[in-house]
Amino acid sequence: MHPAFSVIFLTTLIGAAQGLFLALITAEAFSHIGGLTAQEHSFYSNGSLLSLGLLIAGLVASFFHLGRPERAWRSAAMWRTSWLSREVIALPAFMGVVFIYGLLHYLELPETDLTLMVGIVGVILCFVLFICTGMIYACLKFLQEWRTPLTPINYTLLGMSSGFTLATAFATQYSPELTRMFGTWAIILTLAALLTRTASLVRNKRIKYRSTMSTAIGVRHNNIQQKSQGSMGGSFNTREYFHGMSMLFFKSVKWIFLLLVFPLPLLLIGIGLSTDIAVLLVLAFVVQYAGLIAERWFFFAQANHPQNLYYQTI
């Protein structure tokens, strides 16, 4: 498939925002039960503002791949059967809860149970959004690379790991005592994401495609070769259903994202936590997010649409 950078930025930005919000709720829940000292309201309000900003940025990015943005509201009409429609509903609902949560902390209301209750609603919507986003791709039967439970699992774990890495960098400025806790969770989630993403790469490498040149044209022969694409120039099919890059570039992106998303951030977080050098923790998020852009590009590019059987020679 041809990766659209608007969708790449949408999924990576909202994923980091969701993970950051989960980190905030984790801190408040631990404070509520006495596991941590209570944090200032400004920590939660500023964190919510950052999360909301990333969500808005992702939403704005999503409009760039719409042919008629003014009709975007219609995408929610098929919520009974479409995971995309469910995502369109879950995203603004989650944004609204994040806004309310941040506003309650900004107002510094004495009733702390209220903010925690709102936060729990936000956590539920957060995971609903993760599932909806992942299932948009996992529900497509004809794209075998995506048709696996690992797709929503990877979306969830990668979003959470980037969010907790961001929370670690955020805590260095607003609540240094939470840095170690967030950093530890970031390491755990990044390792979990490495495990599931590696599993998906191994699975996709071993895929036996249901469609072949023989089944595509209905000719039973072991040696079928395509000599021409059947037309003089390119078309929508040749542009939108194939990434258009060389195999060397394609493989290079895989190793780049594996390096930037997993070992490099883990190394930076580990050194940053042991030496208390805040800039390393900030750099860990920057490096990991850059790797996530490459990871998401590879995710879309790896999906081999069956129609490409007709356009192997261009």
Measured CA to CA, the distance from residue 55 to residue 49 in angstroms comes to 10
CA-nearest of 86, 207, 98, 201 to 154 is: 201
Measured CA to CA, the distance from residue 105 to residue 159 in angstroms comes to 24
Other CB atoms within 10 A of residue 174 CB: 16
Task: Please state the rounded mean pLDDT for residues 202-213.
Answer: 83
pLDDT at 305 (0 to 100): 79
Integer Rg of the chain from CA = 22
pLDDT at 254 (0 to 100): 95
CA 191 to chain centre: 16
Is residue 264 a contact partner of residue 291, using CB atoms and an 8 Å limit? yes
Is residue 127 a contact partner of residue 152, using CB atoms and an 8 Å limit? no
Structure tokens of 173? 């400025």
Task: Please state the rounded mean pLDDT for residues 178-207.
Answer: 96
**Mean per-residue pLDDT over the chain, rounded:** 89
Measured CA to CA, the distance from residue 151 to residue 213 in angstroms comes to 27
Q: What is the enclosing helix (H) or strand (E) of 221?
A: none
Is residue 285 a contact partner of residue 172, using CB atoms and an 8 Å limit? no
How deeply is 5 buried, as exposed, middle or buried, from its count of CB atoms within 10 A (0-12, 13-18, 19+)?
Answer: middle
Tell me the pLDDT band of 73, cut-offs 50, 70 and 90.
low
Is residue 309 a contact partner of residue 216, using CB atoms and an 8 Å limit? yes
Higher pLDDT, 207 or 149: 149
Tell me the pLDDT band of 229, cut-offs 50, 70 and 90.
low
Is residue 248 a contact partner of residue 240, using CB atoms and an 8 Å limit? no
Please check the confidence at residue 308 and state whether its pLDDT lies above 80: no
Backbone angles phi, psi at 147, to 5 degrees: -75, 75
- Three-state secondary structure call for residue 215: helix
Task: Kindly report which listed range (132-136, 143-147, 179-183) carries the lowest average pLDDT score.
Answer: 143-147
Higher pLDDT, 252 or 78: 252
Domains by residue range for the chain, with CATH: 5-65+79-207+236-310 (1.20.1630)
CA-nearest of 255, 250, 287 to 271 is: 287
Please check the confidence at residue 54 and state whether its pLDDT lies above 80: yes
pLDDT tens string 156-182: 999 999 999 999 999 999 999 999 999
